[in-house]
Amino acid sequence: MISVQEALKTILENTQDFEVEEIPFLESVGRVLKEDIVADRDFPPFNRVAMDGIAINHRFFEHGVRDFKIEGIQPAGSPQEKMDNAANCYEVMTGAVLPENTDTVIRYEDVEIHSLMATVKLDALEKGKNIHIQGKDRKQGSILIPKNRVITAAEIGVIATVGKSTVEVAKTPKMIIVSTGDELVEVNETPEAHQIRRSNAFTLVSLLEKWNIKAETSHITDDKEQLKSKITNYLNEYDALLFSGAVSKGKFDYLPEVLEELGVEKLFHRVTQRPGKPFWFGITDALGMSARDREQGKKNSTPIFAFPGNPISTYVNCLAYFYPWFAKSAGVELKEEIVILGDDVSFKPELTYFLQVKIEIKYGHLVAIPVKGNGSGDLASLVEADGFIQLPKEQTAFKKGEIYPLLRYRSF
């Protein structure tokens, strides 16, 4: 039995080297960017008109001129015009190139236009006003988005602007989620009195969607030979395996021995936590892969996350262990979310306690309100919570107002 901290450390020492793939930029939301996005030109790429109005040469305004003859018009999307007479003005549109020989833009609201003359209604005017100077935001060649971040709509705009119609992202691992247990029937079946429907596998599929992993699912009955032959195939076919069930002390919990018989190296079994204690973690070829193996195209070693089958156990272990494993493998740094306990909690066993909480925001404070569930089998309680707070095993009393880390699965 090891601690949550040791378990996590072991898992993070066994991340995979996901490779990169190039995909159409518009399909990249939620993926992990694996190249720096660099400005291909200055931002903005020219002295850009920032308001609809007229462009003048400020010198004339300074000398008291308020009436300007309109010499021409500079629409957005047209090549730069040149104003021949510096005493004139040009009508200019937002997004247009500033015409040559002008240096200041006055918006229409501050101008009166009558036939071909514009009269400025201002007493004072700053030189360079309403112009977005070339390169002011970013210089050509500067890094606009550093690699290793999760792409959102904000990044998509920048990626489009620099002309990257495809973009390099971390490949997602090919994964299968395997449920076990003879008591389980399919979702569309009507269970007998002693049966229940499969749900953990689908919960895990949905949790993995956050990372754009499209996992397959499978079910194996509590039969040693079945387990052995199916898992042999999965170890060859998939980059990572998640199991739910068959790792506890039951007579038919064959999974740990089957995995070890198949040569998977057990890195730990059982973690001092509740729920989720019987978690088993192992890896194929933990030490067997050299840099040269990798060069020669040898498959990554395959980690096996075997979670206990109680629904809350499976759920919290996916958040607490698989998420950090995936993030580190993909190169993403996860930020820790810290919340304020909203009620006194007491928990006696010397185990790290993952407590279900609802998050409320009060005056900018993240307050975690404990959700009263009925233990690790109470699937429905997940619906009432937003996440789990992690309460350390060294303490038994946790006071309202203290702060603890949150594993969140629902945002606002």
**Stretch 44-103 residues interacting with a second copy (CB under 8 A):** 44-46, 48, 50, 52-53, 73, 75-80, 91, 93-97
Residues in the chain: 412
State in angstroms the smallest separation of the CB of 126 from a second copy: 15
The rounded distance, in Å, linking the Cα atoms of 343 and 351 is 20
What residues contact residue 69 under an 8 Å CB cut-off, 6+ apart? 85, 87, 88, 89, 116, 117
Tokens linked to 136? 């002011």
Site for a second copy, residues 124 to 183, rule: CB under 8 A: 132, 136-138, 144-145, 152-158, 160-165, 181-183
State in angstroms the smallest separation of the CB of 210 from a second copy: 8
State in angstroms the smallest separation of the CB of 190 from a second copy: 7
Kind of pairing between the strands at 131-132 and 48-49: antiparallel
State in angstroms the smallest separation of the CB of 62 from a second copy: 24
Site for a second copy, residues 251 to 310, rule: CB under 8 A: 251-253, 309-310
Closer to a second copy by Cβ: residue 230 or 299? 230
Write the Ramachandran bin of 246: left for phi over 0, alpha for psi from -120 to 50, otherwise beta. Answer: left
Q: With binding defined as CB under 8 A, does residue 115 bind a second copy?
A: no
Q: With binding defined as CB under 8 A, does residue 119 bind a second copy?
A: no
Q: With binding defined as CB under 8 A, does residue 385 bind a second copy?
A: yes
Between 323-330 and 4-12, two packed helices, what is the crossing angle to 10 degrees? Answer: 30
Residue of 20, 125, 340, 369 that binds a second copy (CB under 8 A): 340
Q: With binding defined as CB under 8 A, does residue 332 bind a second copy?
A: no
The rounded distance, in Å, linking the Cα atoms of 217 and 269 is 23
Closer to a second copy by Cβ: residue 50 or 304? 50
Closer to a second copy by Cβ: residue 297 or 364? 364
State in angstroms the smallest separation of the CB of 94 from a second copy: 6
Hey, which residues does 179 pair with through a beta bridge?
Answer: 219, 244
State in angstroms the smallest separation of the CB of 174 from a second copy: 18
Q: Please tell me whether residue 82 adopts helix, strand or coil conformation.
A: strand
Q: With binding defined as CB under 8 A, does residue 42 bind a second copy?
A: no
Question: Burial code of 147-168, b = ≥16 C-beta within 10 A, e = fewer?
Answer: bbebbeeebeebbeebebeebb
